[in-house]
Amino acid sequence: MLNYEISEDRHRLYERYVNPQWVRLLNVLQMNVEYVRASGAELHTADGRQLLDILSGYCVHNVGHNHPSIIAAIKDELDRQGPAMLQSHVSELAGELAARLCASAGGRLSRAFFASSGSEGIEAVIKFARAHTGRSGMLYAEGGFHGLTCGALSLMSNPFWTEGFGALLPDTAAVPFGHLAELERQLSTQRFAAFVVEPVQGESGIRVAPREYLRRAEALCRRYETLFVLDEVQTGLYRTGPFLAAHHFGVEPDMVVLAKALSGGLVPSAAVLMTDTVSDSVYDSLKRAFVHTSTYSENSLAMRAGLATLDVLEHEQLGRRAAAIGERLRSRLVERLRGYEMFAEVRGLGLLCGIEFRAPRRFRLRLPFEAFARIHPAMFGQVVVMRLFRDHGILSQICGNDFMVLKVAPPLVITEEQIERCVTAVHALFELIHTSASFWTEALGLARRVMNV
């Protein structure tokens, strides 16, 4: 048995046997700290720091880190020593979780397929949509993020994610997010099985779909017999207020993908909700009863964690909380940041918010900013993340497809005091960026080091 006494050894093992570049990047950004405990919206490090998490593992920790009820449910499930992974029984827990998810989602969604990640959920969407329509094409919105498996990657327009991985699925096309005429032009070719879109594009800079866009997109999909699919991997499970972001827009998708927060951040899990008819077009005979499955999809730990997560979200009314605190957070940020040259706007729904920076016009700021951008377009945003972490003890990230937007998506259990801590820190950082030459000189030094790594 391996016995490593200090975690530094484990860091070295990770560097050696998993991904050395990831460790090097965290080191350069001074974010490679040893975490010992996480609870609610707080993270505790081995050297005694207490950090505030406003990233939530990209919307995984809606109920907060290590919620005691979910831990208790998982322990109970292990102690029960019930049937698990038999692959030849009916998973009662999956039935119960599916029924509850469909009841909360409403509309046409009346069946679930379980998976273990958002990407795997998107893969299922592709197969179910193709089986249902007999068409192979997939349409998606530019700038979206749907996962990094080959099928999901085929629905992503940013070459950063796709380059170097060879040919992806044929017969896919992108339409600009929010552009109905182009959507109709593509749909009218009647070669697309589904149109896949996020109601709020998360990685693309927290871009909330324009009010009427999703409703009219849904109507167009119906007209051209294309399935209307919402990727709610980040927006689902009360992140934006209601159970689904779809509920803000009054749309009834044919399929919805949920993942991330579904199992309280403790067990991998995902669910694709769909109509009976879409499901029946895959499972259409005894012969095809298991034609699309996945070994761990209905595993009892994920299902128990999912049920416990729904209980917590409902009992603690975290959707209502997300809506109220999100509003307050956005207005407090605007109050404190308006007037700064590099502040563009704050946007979002519920507790999925983005703070957009803009390129400065004044020469004194423009010069270093442009030097940065020449080194790497993500560099400015990464330095913002680093400074929030180092100077203010706040764990955040910029959006994967828009490096000028800082994501603020804390656990839905974040307190008013923690929100104030976040606003104060972001304000202090804006002040520093606009007044301190050392912010830029230090940052440029770091940027050069990163490029030499």
- Residue 117 or 300: the one with the smaller Cβ distance to ligand PLP is 117
Q: Which residue is nearest to ligand PLP (CB)?
A: 118
- Residue 146 or 421: the one with the smaller Cβ distance to ligand PLP is 146
- Residue 28 or 262: the one with the smaller Cβ distance to ligand PLP is 262
Minimal distance, residue 172 CB to ligand PLP, in Å: 16
Q: Which helix H or strand E contains 356, and what residues bound it? A: strand 352-357
- Residue 278 or 409: the one with the smaller Cβ distance to ligand PLP is 409
Minimal distance, residue 276 CB to ligand PLP, in Å: 24
- Residue 56 or 119: the one with the smaller Cβ distance to ligand PLP is 119
Taking a C-beta distance cutoff of 8 angstroms, is the pair 350, 323 a contact? yes
Identify the three-state secondary structure at position 404: strand
Q: What does the alpha-carbon distance between residue 386 and residue 175 come to, in Å, rounded to a whole number?
A: 34
Task: Write the DSSP string, 10-72.
Answer: HHHHHHHHT-HHHHHHHHHTT----EEEEEBTEEEETTS-EEEESSHHHHT-TT-BT-HHHHH
Phi, psi (degrees; rounded to nearest 5) at 353: -125, 155
Minimal distance, residue 299 CB to ligand PLP, in Å: 15
Please give the distance of CA 365 from its chain centroid, rounded to a whole number: 32
Minimal distance, residue 335 CB to ligand PLP, in Å: 29
Q: Which residues bind ligand PLP (CB under 6 A)?
A: 58, 117-119, 122, 145-147, 198, 202, 231, 233-234, 259
Minimal distance, residue 198 CB to ligand PLP, in Å: 5
- Residue 57 or 106: the one with the smaller Cβ distance to ligand PLP is 57
* Closest to 406 in 3D by CA, of 370, 431, 381, 389: 381
- Residue 245 or 310: the one with the smaller Cβ distance to ligand PLP is 245
Cα angle: 160, vertex 165, 166; to 5 degrees: 120
Residue 387 in tokens: 């400074």
Q: What does the alpha-carbon distance between residue 242 and residue 233 come to, in Å, rounded to a whole number?
A: 14
Minimal distance, residue 117 CB to ligand PLP, in Å: 4
For residue 59, give every residue at least 6 positions away whose Cβ sits within 8 Å of its Cβ, in sequence order, or none. 202, 233, 234, 235, 239, 260, 261, 352, 409
Minimal distance, residue 149 CB to ligand PLP, in Å: 7
Q: What does the alpha-carbon distance between residue 382 and residue 297 come to, in Å, rounded to a whole number?
A: 35
Residue 171 in tokens: 């017969």
Phi, psi (degrees; rounded to nearest 5) at 196: -110, 125
- Residue 209 or 447: the one with the smaller Cβ distance to ligand PLP is 209
Minimal distance, residue 257 CB to ligand PLP, in Å: 7
Taking a C-beta distance cutoff of 8 angstroms, is the pair 394, 51 a contact? yes
